[in-house]
Amino acid sequence: MSAIRNPTELSADIMRTWSSTSLGSRIVVTGTEVQSLEELSNHLFTPLGALLAIETVIKVRGHISSAKCLDPNFQPFSDAQVVCLKTIQEFMDTLDHTIPLAWIHLGHGDFEYEMDGEDEEDGEWGADYAMLSNGEDEGDWIRTEKISKAISESKGSDSILFCILPVCKSSHSGDVLQSNRKVLAIHATELGSPPDGSSQLLEMQHWEEPARISSVKVLSDQYRNDL
């Protein structure tokens, strides 16, 4: 199943599927110089909505937990932890041994065309590709397909509940990640280049309400089946 891109896609069936999925406990934030949730909360350049996004991830996981609670083998989730890393490369290195609950990148994004030829005048348009800044600043770019490949090849059976990319031209990176079988949902809605990621982060609140409705329906359906 492809990752969903819009909170309106959440349904009882999807919540049932997610309730049988193994999820981690770490919310990894990349593209920031801070080293903790406390520093992230107080940092001057933390975009508005970053804490809302973290809160939404935890709430949605809580609704998934509610959908799981009728399972006799139900095991409660571990407490969520926020881990801040300077670069995506550091995040990719951790994928060798653990999959996060969510990944939020606060750096930059872009989308370019590759030229088939030595220069633009003689070359022809080739493949297009999405990319994300490795860290907080532009310049050191990583193609999103490389990041997606690292996620796909990661060890373990856990899935990433959310990939949240509040960066310029994020929708293109979302397109790359959408077919990744280890990613359940992606929030990456921008085609242009806004001044910061606040608007995309504030949109995260829309993921919580459909999840609450869907999780309640899952429980109600199961309850009626047991009667």
User: How sure is the predictor about 188, in pLDDT bands with cuts at 50, 70 and 90?
Assistant: very high
**Domains contained in the chain, number:** 1
Average pLDDT estimate for 48-62: 95
Reported as a pLDDT band with limits 50, 70 and 90, residue 214 is low
pLDDT at 216 (0 to 100)? 45
Q: Express each pLDDT in 104-129 by its tens digit.
A: 999 999 998 765 555 545 545 456 89
Q: Is this prediction's pTM over 0.85?
A: yes
Query: Lowest mean pLDDT: which of 12-21, 38-47, 63-72?
Result: 63-72
Report if residue 138 sits inside a domain.
yes
Cα 55 → chain centroid: 13
Supply the mean pLDDT for the chain: 87
- Does a structural domain hold residue 38? yes
Domain presence at residue 169: yes
Which of 78, 84, 82, 145 lies closest to 111 in space, CA to CA?
145
What is the model's pLDDT at position 85? 97
Residue 183 lies in a domain: yes
Is residue 1 included in any domain, yes or no? no
State the residue for tokens 């959440």.
10
pLDDT range class, residue 227, cuts 50, 70, 90: very low
The pLDDT of residue 19 is 87
18 in a domain, yes or no? yes
Q: Which of 95, 70, 82, 81 is nearest to 20 (CA)?
A: 70
% of the chain at pLDDT higher than 70: 85
Q: Classify strands 109-116 and 102-105 as parallel, antiparallel or unpaired.
A: unpaired
Say whether pLDDT at 223 is over 70: no
Number of Cβ atoms within 10 Å of the Cβ of 209: 12
What distance in Å separates the CA atoms of residue 131 and residue 109, rounded to the nearest whole number? 6
Separation CA 131–CA 177 (nearest Å): 11
Q: What is the mean pLDDT of residues 74-96?
A: 93
Chain CA centroid to CA 14, Å: 17
pLDDT surpassing 50 at residue 224:
no
Domain interval for residue 115: 7-226
Residue 2: inside a domain, yes or no?
A: no
Residues forming beta bridges with residue 196, ordered by sequence position: none
Going by C-alpha positions, the residue among 224, 227, 225, 209 that lies closest to residue 63 is 209
- pLDDT higher than 80, residue 226: no
Task: Work out the pLDDT band at 16, boundaries 50, 70, 90.
Answer: confident
pLDDT tops 90 at residue 157: no
- In this prediction, residue 115 carries a pLDDT of 58
Q: How crowded is residue 97: how many other Cβ atoms within 10 Å of its Cβ?
A: 9
For the segment 176-185, the average pLDDT, to the nearest whole number, is 97
In a domain, 196, yes or no: yes
